[in-house]
Amino acid sequence: MKEFNEKLARWINATPSKDAGINNIQIPGQVEHLVWQNRSKIPSQYEMDFVQHLIQAFSNDVTQLNDLVSTLNQQGFRNEDGELWTIECFSSEMQRLGY
């Protein structure tokens, strides 16, 4: 099983092809179904750890942004730069990781 959508990785920031449909035509019965349709790369360990900390917070009924940021800091999980979370850096990180 592929860990990410290889075609999506090539499409990000790509210039449009002048030849429509080249290598993208799907033949009925021969379509490759990907588990990770919208993932252009394998998540880093930081991203996987981030997900686990978010799941833990949400499992404890944390639903407000202020509380979520505080919970991440209380859990000891730091942003990728090793700094404490703020609402601003959390929002920026969500935008950055929203690939």
Coil, strand or helix at 79: coil
> Comparing 41 with 17, which gets the higher pLDDT?
41
Q: What are phi and psi of 14, to 5 degrees?
A: -90, 155
Please report which confidence band the pLDDT of residue 22 belongs to, taking 50, 70 and 90 as the band edges.
low
Q: Give this prediction's pTM.
A: 0.65
The whole-chain average pLDDT of the chain stands at 83
Q: Tens of pLDDT along 26-60?
A: 667 776 766 666 677 788 999 999 999 999 999 99
| Distance from C-alpha of 96 to C-alpha of 56, rounded to nearest angstrom | 21
